[in-house]
A and B are shown apart, each in its own frame.
Chain A
């Protein structure tokens, strides 16, 4: 038995059920001989159901053959931590602004990637956000948020 496939199949079945429920609530159109807006989603529902059943079957009856490095590796805790840091960065971005949110993010990520030297960490954490901010905001006209620094920087 392949537990991973079974778990995935169960999750995907739940998603398919939710998708089918939403599809059944789509408004109907009364134009003659015209497929409704729900026509294509119903096809997707049937396909998803058939394939998740096939995945469930594979998970239950086909021998496990796992060589996925992401699963084998014991460092997945750090990966989750990195994702959490990334999430904090994108959530705080609109409020703190690009530069202020990016400085701690870059510092933490550099440290995660093995950079231990304090000087390099400080230069990288300050330099990368500032360079990218100037390049995109003033070079390419991307309106990156200024946040708390709104009155201080252009």
Chain B
């Protein structure tokens, strides 16, 4: 066996790493199941902690939270008909009717098992595909890397935006913000206005905290004032585990969901909700009992749940091998790794193979702990749906401040966080998606660096991007992605 694989496994299996994974899973299940909380919020809560922890322990904690959050979202979807996370939207279609029928336990048990199998399937995809893809990506030169990052950016914008103009504008704002600070090639100060704190640029995590948490605090405040009180779980949870007959009914939907989720997860920008709905749709079309869908059948829960959890491992593949985040959570993971001086990408496997494999095995443990915690503590967890927002929200607000301050022990970052909070609110007011901005902040620096290095190498000749086959391939894919999003937007408008 490759010694790096063994070393990675051992690091991910150390008691502290396992404890962090378990804690992350528990927290993920909690934040995932509370409506109004997202996985990103959960990550904001633990972010200050990860700065002081060992990188492997930090990643274990964050991956536990990522996987747990995906599963937790289905609990609220089944019990309250309010998806805890967008990825659990499809689960509510059949989960809630089962809950109303008094089969909440069976619905949740199905969701837990399907999520576990989907997550485990994506672990194997991650384990086998990621190192191979990293090896291929190592051959990429500056023009190829530029086109790859550009592809990542276009596909993300097109999928993130309901309005293409606003989605692209959001990304461009991110690209403008990324130019603040030292120029990555020559070290020239740009747009700093003589402010020393701005020389290092805008920290991506500070921006992320502001963009996600502040608007969420305000939206929750508005909804609580508008009298939208928290509903309580009505159903009693009796039996949790499906019997053999019910398990056999899950085989086909789980297979469809796992394959669809892992594949779509690899594509940057697709994410859990799309994977969940596509797998639900396919399962329904291939089922002999199509009439049962929507009325509360376990196939309708198994397919989307396995899909959204399979997305997690799939999304880690481009993150680990190419440094391209598949969704906001993997973007945050990249930021968290950068804090520790680790840059996800093909070089990670070459220079820190042990760490790369420890991430993969931490993901494996996250799925295992998720299953154990969800099955053993479900009844207790469900009670947390009643956590009062009056205690939760001020704590989150303070954690936003602590998280941004602790990055560099600097109040300037707190003010930047608040500025991004206002920006996030303005963008929501305009129905402008924040995800492209966030991802532009992650990818913008690389985009500029590879572009300028490639042009320097070619003495300013732009044909270098079209003569390299890899670069050309990514540019064609970028064009396809942009045209496809135009087509989808027009089709969506025609369909009403």
Which residues of A approach B to under 8 Å, CB–CB? 4-5, 8, 12, 19, 22, 26-27, 29, 33-35, 37, 39-41, 44, 47-48, 51-52, 54-55, 58, 66, 68-71, 73, 75-76, 78-79, 82-83, 86-87, 89-90, 93-94, 102, 105-106, 109-110, 112-115, 120, 124, 128-129, 132, 136, 140-144
Q: Which bucket holds chain B's interface residue count?
A: 35 or more
Chain A residues within an 8 Å CB radius of B214: 83, 86
Assess the B418–A33 pair: CB atoms within 8 A. no
A109 x B397 contact (CB < 8 A): yes
A78 to chain B: closest residue by CB: B225
Contacting pair B48 A35 (CB below 8 A): no
Q: Which residues of B contact A33 (CB under 8 A)?
A: 455-456, 459-460
B172 touches A (CB below 8 Å) = yes
- The secondary structure that dominates the A interface is helix
B459 CB to closest chain A CB (Å) equals: 4
A78 to B223, CA, bound (A): 11
> Are B405 and A114 in contact (CB-based, < 8 A)?
no
| A44 B176 Cβ-Cβ under 8 A | yes
Q: Within the complex, what minimum Cβ distance (angstroms) separates B76 from chain A?
A: 19
Cα–Cα distance between A55 and B161 once the two chains are bound (Å) = 14
B222 touches A37 (CB 8 A): no
Interchain nearest-CB distance for A47 vs B (Å): 5
**B393 with A90: CB separation less than 8 A:** no
A47 to B444, CA, bound (A): 14
Inter-chain CA distance A144–B404, complex, in Å, is 11
B15 interface hit (Cβ, 8 Å): no
Our pick among A5, A29, A132, A142 for the contact of B52 (Cβ within 8 Å) is A142
Instruction: Give the docked Cα–Cα distance between A102 and B179 (Å).
Output: 34
Known: A109-B393, A112-B221, A128-B394. 13 other contacts (CB 8 A): A35-B185, A48-B172, A51-B172, A68-B428, A70-B425, A70-B428, A75-B222, A94-B411, A110-B391, A113-B221, A113-B388, A132-B399, A141-B52
Pick the contact of A44 from B175, B186, B218 — CB < 8 Å? B175
> Which residues of B have CB within 8 Å of A55?
165-166, 169
Q: Which residues of B contact A110 (CB under 8 A)?
A: 390-391, 394
Given A51-B168, A83-B422, A105 contacting B394 (CB threshold 8 A): yes
Task: With A75-B225, A82-B218 as known contacts, state yes or no: A39 contacts B452, CB within 8 Å.
Answer: yes
Residue-wise interface mask of B (40-81) relative to A, using a CB-CB cutoff of 8 A (1 in contact, 0 not)? 000000001101100000000000000000000000000000
B389 touches A113 (CB 8 A): yes
Q: Which residues of A lie under 8 Å from residue B49 when comparing CB positions?
A: 140
Contacts of A22 in B (CB 8 A): 190-191
The binding surface of chain B is classed by DSSP as helix
Q: With a CB–CB cut-off of 8 A, which chain B residues contact A71?
A: 429
Q: Is the CB of B402 within 8 A of A90?
A: no
Q: Top 5 nearest A-B pairs by Cβ distance?
A: A115-B390, A109-B394, A113-B390, A37-B188, A37-B183
Asked whether B451 is an interface residue with its Cβ less than 8 Å from the other chain, the reply is yes
The reply on B380 being an interface residue by CB < 8 A is no
Query: Which residues on the B side are within 8 Å of A47 (C-beta)?
Result: 168, 172, 175
User: Which of B52, B394, B451, B455 lies in contact with A113, CB distance below 8 A?
Assistant: B394
| A115 surroundings in chain B (CB, below 8 A) | 388, 390-391
Q: With an 8 A cutoff between CB atoms, is B226 at the interface?
A: yes
Q: Which of A40, A70, A82 has the most CB of B within 10 A?
A: A40
Alpha-carbon distance A27/B214, docked complex (angstroms) = 36
